[in-house]
Amino acid sequence: MREISGRTKTVALFGYPVEHTKSPHMQNAAFAETGIDGCYIAFSVSPGELSGAVQAIRSLGMLGVNLTIPHKEAVLPLLDEIDPEAVFIGAVNTIVNRNGRLCGYNTDGRGFMRSLAEAGIAVAGKRVFMLGAGGAARAVGYYLVQEAASLIIANRTKDKAEQLAADLDRLRPVVSVIASSDPGYAALCGEVDIVINTTSLGLKEGDALPIDSAFFNPRHTVCDLIYHRTPMLQAASSQGARIIDGSGMLLWQGALAFELWTGQPAPVDIMRKALGD
Ligand code: NAP
C-alpha cells in the first residue's frame, strides 16, 4: 500500500451512483506502477452538487476528474475549455486542471478505437452497423465515420438516429439510417462487416437482444460497449462471429485519461490486470 503524503495529488470520479465503479482500482494501480504520487477516489455527487464539486477541483488543486452518469453533459457549461471532439460529442468524461483552468475531454471514442486496434480489427474500408444513438454512439461514431466505408445507424427512437446520422454525415458523407421494420434490414445485417451495440440493452438480466441473433454469420465482427459478455455477444459467438466486449474500451478510456492528467504513458497492462482482478 502506498503512503498518502502531503504532496499526494488527487484525481476523482464524480458520478451518481459510483459504488460499483472499477476505476479507482485501475487508476490507483497505474499510480503505484508509475511511482507518480497520486491517488484516485470515487465521489457520489448528486446533480445539484455538481457545480460545487467542479469548483472544488480548482480550490483543492486536484489533477482532474472523470465524470460518469449523470454528469457527462451537464458539466459542459462549468468548464473553461472543451476539446473539439468533446464539443461534437456533447459530453465530457475527463477534466484536466491546468493551473485552475478546467479543460474537458472525451476519451470514450478514442478508447473504443484503441480497443479495436489492439484486437487487430481495422475499421478502414469496412461497412459498420451501429445499434443505438445515445451518448456512447456519438462518441464512437465520431471516430468510426472517419474510417469506415459506410456507417449505418439503427435506433429505437428514429429521430435520434437521424439527428446523429446528420451530424456524423457532415464529418464524412458515408452515414445512413435504417429502421428494423425496413424490408432491407435483414439483408443489410448479413452484408455488413462490423456490428456494434451501443445501446444499454444487455446491461440487465432479461433484456431483449438489440438485434435478431439469426442475422449473425462467421464474417461478422460483433462488438458490445457493455463490459461483459452479453447475450448478444454469446449469440454472435455461437454463430461463428468474432466478438469484442466493452472491457477494452473501459481500459483504454481510462488509460487515455491517465495520460491527460499525468503527461506520462499509462501502464496499460497493469491497468488491464487491475480491471480483471
Ligand atoms: P444513453 O445516452 O442513455 O443511450 C442509450 C441508448 O440505448 C439509446 O440509443 C437508447 O435508445 C437505447 N436503449 C435504451 N433502452 C432501450 C430499449 N429498451 N430498447 C431499445 N433501445 C434502448 O447511454 P450511453 O451513455 O450512450 O451508454 C450506452 C451503453 O454504452 C451503456 O450500456 C453503457 O454502459 C455503455 N458504455 C460503455 C463504455 C465503456 O467504456 N465500455 C463507455 C460508455 C458507455 P433511445 O434513443 O430510443 O432511447
Phi, psi for 68 (deg, rounded to 5): -135, -175
Mind listing the pLDDT tens digit for each residue in 24-68? 999 999 999 999 999 999 999 999 999 999 999 999 999 999 999
Mind listing the pLDDT tens digit for each residue in 78-116? 999 999 999 999 999 999 999 999 999 999 999 999 999
Q: Which of these, 168, 169, 118, 159, lies nearest to 139 by C-alpha position?
A: 168
Residue 222's DSSP bridge partners are 195, 243
Mind listing the pLDDT tens digit for each residue in 156-195? 999 999 999 999 999 999 999 999 999 999 999 999 999 9
Q: Is 82 exposed, middle or buried (0-12, 13-18, 19+ CB in 10 A)?
A: buried
pLDDT band at 2 (very low <50, low <70, confident <90, very high): confident
pLDDT band at 277 (very low <50, low <70, confident <90, very high): confident
- Identify whether the C-beta of residue 78 lies closer than 8 Å to the C-beta of residue 95: no
Residue 22 and residue 277: Cα distance in Å, rounded?
10
- The three grid cell numbers given for residue 213, joined into one nine-digit string: 441473433
72 is catalytic: yes
pLDDT computed for residue 169 by the predictor: 98
Ligand 1 atom index nearest CA of 91? 25
Phi, psi for 136 (deg, rounded to 5): -70, -35
Residue 142 and residue 144: Cα distance in Å, rounded?
6
pLDDT computed for residue 1 by the predictor: 60
What would the mean pLDDT of 266-273 be, rounded to a whole number? Answer: 98
Centre of ligand 1 from the C-alpha of residue 21, in Å: 17
Cβ–ligand 1 contact at 154 (below 6 Å): no
Predicted TM-score (pTM) of the model is: 0.95
What would the mean pLDDT of 236-240 be, rounded to a whole number? Answer: 97
Residue 198 and residue 214: Cα distance in Å, rounded?
19
DSSP the chain: -PPP-TT-EEEEEEESS-TT--HHHHHHHHHHHHT--EEEEEEE--GGGHHHHHHHHHHTT-SEEEE-TTSTTTTGGG-SEE-HHHHHHT--SEEEEETTEEEEE--HHHHHHHHHHHTT---TT-EEEEE--SHHHHHHHHHHHHH-SEEEEE-SSHHHHHHHHHHHHHHSS-EEE--TTSTTHHHHHHH-SEEEE-SSTTSSTTPPPSS-GGG--TT-EEEESSSS--HHHHHHHHTT-EEE-THHHHHHHHHHHHHHHHSS---HHHHHHHHH-
Cβ–ligand 1 contact at 22 (below 6 Å): no
Centre of ligand 1 from the C-alpha of residue 2, in Å: 37
Centre of ligand 1 from the C-alpha of residue 235, in Å: 20
